[in-house]
Amino acid sequence: MTRSSPPPINDLLSDLVQPDEVDRFALPVEARKKAMDCLARREHSRRELEQKLGKAGFTTEAVLDALDGLAADGLQCDRRYAEAFTHSRVRRGKGPARIRAELGERGVAGALVSEALEDAGADWRALAIDVRRRKFGDAPPSGFAEKARQMRFLQYRGFETDHIQAAVSGGD
């Protein structure tokens, strides 16, 4: 009994792939499905979805058509994303400068960012004071070096100069 050798791998692959099949990565319907999978988990900005779909291998035309359809149907909205993102970051103790920069990196327009920050209704000074107290305790900084360290921390968190001054001065 002799064993025959298996057919070459290219022959097997050619049997599986039909030449007249449509490339699914060129179909806006497939890109829409992928985008909706992403949106089911959390809000995404348009730029984030463009990047994710592009990395998944979808063509630019399919991605743009899918995202236009999602926006027209109200399923993807940069305004809603900016609001949700802003509220999330405020709860984490981030300041307006940091939130503005992060939303800018995610492709949200400056006007939408400003609206989201205004609509958040955050008291930035009180938030900076609270963040400083949680990190460093109730006592105000004792010396210049400690004050500078706390100021750098608050600046990194995205608070503006007047918020930082209020937080490190020990005043409420």
Q: 25-65 pLDDT, tens per residue?
A: 888 899 999 999 999 999 999 999 999 999 999 999 999 99
Taking the CB of residue 131, how many other CB atoms lie within 10 A of it? Answer: 21
How confident is residue 24, by pLDDT bands cut at 50, 70 and 90?
Answer: confident
Taking the CB of residue 40, how many other CB atoms lie within 10 A of it? Answer: 8
How confident is residue 6, by pLDDT bands cut at 50, 70 and 90?
Answer: low
pLDDT at 4: 65
Q: How far apart, in whole angstroms, are the C-alpha atoms of residue 147 and residue 145?
A: 5
| Number of helices (H), then strands (E), in the chain | 10, 0
The first and second tokens of residue 123, run together, are 């008291």
pLDDT at 123: 96
Top CATH class, 23-72: mainly alpha
Ranges in the chain annotated CATH 1.10.10.10: 124-168
pLDDT at 8: 63
Q: How far apart, in whole angstroms, are the C-alpha atoms of residue 76 and residue 93?
A: 26
Architecture of domain 78-119: Orthogonal Bundle (1.10)
pLDDT at 23: 81
pLDDT at 95: 97
pTM above 0.85, yes or no: no
> pLDDT tens across 110-155, in order?
999 999 999 999 999 999 999 999 999 999 999 999 999 999 999 9
- 21 — phi, psi (to 5°)? -70, 145
Under CATH, what is the fold of the domain 124-168? Arc Repressor Mutant, subunit A (1.10.10)
Query: C-alpha angle 166/171/172, rounded to 5°?
Result: 90
> pLDDT tens across 83-99, in order?
999 999 999 999 999 99
pLDDT at 161: 96
pLDDT at 22: 66
Q: How far apart, in whole angstroms, are the C-alpha atoms of residue 25 and residue 9?
A: 24
